[in-house]
Amino acid sequence: MANVLMKTSFLFPGQKSLYTGKVRDVYNISDKFLVMIASDRISAFDVVLPKGIPYKGQVLNQIASKFLDATNDICPNWKIASPDPNVTIGRFCKIYPVEMIIRGYLTGSSWRSYQKGSRVICGVAVPDGMKEHQRFAHPIITPTTKAAEGHDEDITEAEILAQGLIPKEDYDLIKKFTHAIFQRGTEMAAQKGLILVDTKYEFGKGHDGKIYLCDEIHTPDSSRYFYLEGYEERQATGQQQRQLSKEFVREWLMANGFMGKEGQQVPEMSDAWIKEISDRYIELYEGITGEKFIRAESTNILQRIESNILNFLNNS
């Protein structure tokens, strides 16, 4: 099995800080650049699982890079370059502490809440009588707080504004961007025979005062996809939808008694299961992009990444 990238601890010229997220390591270079390294860590239910998935970081980084390029006419984004299969380097932004989750369909956590009787999600009213995976009349935005540790929490637009997390003028523009980028992603997915079900976006403000789309977009970690073919038939007959997302990992964990709650143990991840997850991520890449996945050299991942980043920084 290929080597995996579980953590980094580089010291780059001008480095001011290192933020280690659930999956990404982000280096602040002189408050000028953000160097984001997509590791092979995998998280579910806001818990980082103990073993990494070969090529997962490359899959996420390269999907996000393609979609950032394909949406920068809608909203400026932070990306400057992708000098390595696992790396995106972009402009320094101060990230808003809210994740903009937009949902086109009633599924996942929103469906689990709906099943328990909730008819309001993050301040948005949802009608009675809906089925799992049913399309909303219009996509809805259900934001969450962006937790430094532990679980993100649902939050309403009114609470975001009341707490001063995002100024109203900025939030109104971010909402507009969220709907427009989701529409573009929906159109691009349909061209590949897919449905973009739901996703999340993060935004930040640059030194120039502009709002930028940041982080990853439209990856299987941040998004959920259904296959378009057969969707209506499956809904009509009550069958589960065919998904192209990380949901299969969550389902495996739930089937083995783990949902990230206190006292629960992560089930053993066998080599065969890890290979299956890796293969599924590569399938996701090829399905979403329509391109063959080319595995990056993995003999010495850390050395490769450090060399490529230094080459960019030395020539910038």
Q: Which CATH number characterizes residue 126's domain?
A: 3.30.470.20
> Would 313 be classed as within a structural domain?
no
| pLDDT value, residue 146 | 81
Q: Which amino acid is at 140?
A: I
Residue 220 pLDDT? 87
- Written as six digits, the tokens of 4 are 């995996």
82 near 184, Cβ under 8 Å?
no
* Whether residue 150 has pLDDT greater than 60: no
Is residue 295 included in any domain, yes or no? no
- Mean pLDDT over 170-182 rounds to 98
Q: Which residues pair with 93 in a beta bridge?
A: 206
Sorting pLDDT into bands at 50, 70 and 90, what band is 275? very high
Q: Does some domain include residue 137?
A: yes
Q: What is the pTM of this model?
A: 0.91
Tokens of 285: 């890449």
pLDDT tens per residue across span 90-119: 999 999 999 999 999 999 889 999 999 999
**pLDDT-derived band at 148, boundaries 50, 70, 90:** low
Residue 221 burial by CB count (10 A; 0-12/13-18/19+): exposed, middle or buried?
buried
Number of domain units in the chain: 1
Provide the domain limits for residue 205: 96-245
Asked if residue 192 belongs to a domain, the reply is yes
Is residue 259 situated within a structural domain?
A: no
- Residue 164 one-letter amino acid: G
The verdict on residue 105 lying in a domain is yes
Report pLDDT for 151.
Answer: 64
Least Cα distance to 221 among 182, 263, 249 occurs for 249
**Residue at 184 is within a domain:** yes
Query: How many other C-beta atoms are found inside a 10 Å radius of the C-beta of residue 74?
Result: 15
Q: Is residue 237 part of a domain?
A: yes
